[in-house]
Structure 1
Amino acid sequence: MRSYIVSGILDHQRYDPSSHSFRFKHTMLMLNTDHLESPKKLCSLISIEKTGVLSINFKNMIDATNKPIGEKIQRLFKLQGNQSKSSNSFAVTTPSVLGYSFNPASFYFVINDEDKIENCAVEVHNTFNESHLYILNSPTAGSSKSSKYTHEKQFHVSPFIGREGNYEFEFELTATYLKINITLFHNNQPIISTRYLGELIPLTRKNLFLNIRQLIFTVLLTESRILKQAYKLHFRKKLPLFNKPIPLAMTKIALSRGFISKLKIPFV
């Protein structure tokens, strides 16, 4: 498989304790890790392991080493006893823009010969300069196109909700789109759901040029969008704040640090 630009819409819905929703355009890259290790196979507008207008830095993904991303992904699942026969691995993420990066979630997939997701992991970042890896093993359900997984919530993301509950992840990958659904349940009731549906656009120089503005906007506007929604939840809807708990295993200090973690803002 080739690498892609993923251009779509992200929908977020909070059900409890107060209803709240928002949606916006969100553009990412779905990168074949073989292309990251052989930069000539990737679009020349993306810098690998060096600062550029758009760049990918290996140390910002999974761990702080500069090892190739494909090697990191395969090792991640091997350590979990879930080594794949396939070597087709992909990172779905946003690049750094002029050295700046804040990525709420990156997705790491191993895709089999039938182009279905076989193994996956989700790396989540919060505004406290932390990241956490959810390694998803043993799908609970799915179809010929999609895979579902469940995982206990282990990471403090929002100060407006506790760390209790369980996530349900659903991924669907076809030749033309990527769909991601993530729902947080507590006491069997949905609390928050996030849905993303993105069109797969082949990553060529021309297509990147046509989509580069939206990709840059996605990166640069993420933290301001977080602040805007946090303001609404705290000051308009009067949601109480949850104290940040002690981090659990698989949580680490994030090397790609956004600006919110450098500010003293009471609701983030």
Structure 2
Amino acid sequence: MTPSTVAVPALYRCVVTHVRDGPVRHAFHHRTYLWFLDIDRPPRLPRPLHPLARFEARDHFGGTAPTLRGGLERFLAARGLDLDGGRVTMLTAARVFGHVFNPLTLYWCHDAAGAPLCIVAEVHNTYGERHCHLLHPDADGRAYVPKEFYVSPFFPVDGAYRMRLPEPDARLRISVRLERRGTRPFLATVHGDRTRATPAGLLRAAACHPWPTLAVSAAIRVHGLWLWARGLRVRPRPHHPVQKGMQ
């Protein structure tokens, strides 16, 4: 895992792919755009464009910290890690017209000397719950972590995720594969190309993908209904305790 040399902020025009292998085979592709930014230096946009891109601390971690860094540092401190002011880059969707839904937000954390320290993968489900995975990937950005969070209503909370999360450069290449009892029933990928995060670049992205966070949330529900209609059983949703450092 090496530090990114891409200037931030940046936009990535993306294709998100979900592939389910069984018991009902299903795949879908969704086009959107994501932001890559320094959490201490959010984009400076003209006031008329503020509704298209807001990054608020309440949308991440416990939602109670005054800043994004504050929420991240509280989570890491509960696990014995100190960034010591090190740089943190973030891949996320912005709040658009007051709405945000981020199935996955990634934080690449570096120490004060600029060396990679860890990755935090923050997952949101459609029930309004959040869970963060602390990852220590290898040099290629690969990590393996137990599944601890109810995401899809058609999978129980078991198995593990095999992730590949290299920090973006000119290209974005993210993959998350679920492994259960010797099977690999689900794969999600995000592939995208970097573009400049200028007002014109944002307007072009928004023109192609208006209200992208609402579109992602709606797509997940529509495909869930499709799977349910084809006989997949909904698994009970267990109580999800608040994680340390997420209060």
TM-score range, shorter chain: 0.7 to 0.9
Uncovered stretches (5+) of structure 1, i.e. residues with no partner: 255-268
Counterpart position of 1:9: 15
Q: Structure 1 pair 5/222, CA: closer, same or farther in 2 (3 Å)?
A: same
Is the partner of 1:172 in helix, strand or coil? coil
**Can you list the C-alpha shifts for 1:65-110, whole angstroms capped at 9, x where unaligned?**
2422133334433432343467211221111222122222211122
Do the aligned partners of 2:86 and 2:114 also contact (CA within 8 Å) in 1? Answer: no
Query: Cα gap change, 1:63/1:176 in structure 2, threshold over 3 Å: closer, same or farther?
Result: same
Q: How far 1:189 sits from its partner (Å)?
A: 1.6
Q: Does 1:238 align with 2:225?
A: no
Aligned to 1:157: 151
Q: Secondary structure at the match of 1:161?
A: coil
After superposition, the C-alpha distances for 1:14-52 in whole angstroms (9 at most, x for unaligned) are 11222111112121111211213xxxx6233554xxxx3
Alignment CA distance shift 1:233-1:115 (3 Å)? farther
- Cross-structure match for 1:199: 193
* Within-5 A mapping of 1:70-219: 70-84=69-83, 87-111=86-110, 118-136=117-135, 138-139=136-137, 141-142=138-139, 146-219=140-213
CA distance in 2 between counterparts of 1:22 and 1:189 reads 20
CA distance in 2 between counterparts of 1:100 and 1:253 reads 21
Gapped regions of structure 2 (runs ≥ 5) = 1-6
The number of equivalent residue pairs is: 240
Q: 1:113 to 1:9 in 2, by over 3 A?
A: farther
SS in 1 for 2:12: strand
Q: Distance in 2 between matches of 1:106 and 1:216?
A: 20
TM-score (norm 1): 0.79
Equivalent runs, 1:37-56 vs 2, <5 Å: 42-44=44-46, 47=50, 52-56=51-55
Quote how far apart the aligned CAs of 1:218 are: 2.0
The root-mean-square deviation of aligned C-alpha atoms, in Å, is 2.7
What's the offset of the Cα at 1:133? 1.2
Greater strand proportion: 1
CA contact (8 A) 2:75 2:245 kept: no
Distance 1:203 1:223, change over 3 A: same
What's the counterpart of residue 27 of structure 1? 33
Q: Deviations over 1:192-248 (max 9, x none)?
A: 11011111222122211221224534212112211221121011x211111111224
Contact 1:130 1:252 survives alignment (8 Å): no
Residue range with higher mean Cα deviation, 6-15 or 113-122: 113-122
- Partner of 2:243 in structure 1? 250
Instruction: Tell me, yes or no, if the aligned pair for 2:104 and 2:122 is still in contact at 8 Å.
Output: yes
Q: What is the identity, as a one-letter code, of the residue corresponding to 1:226?
A: I
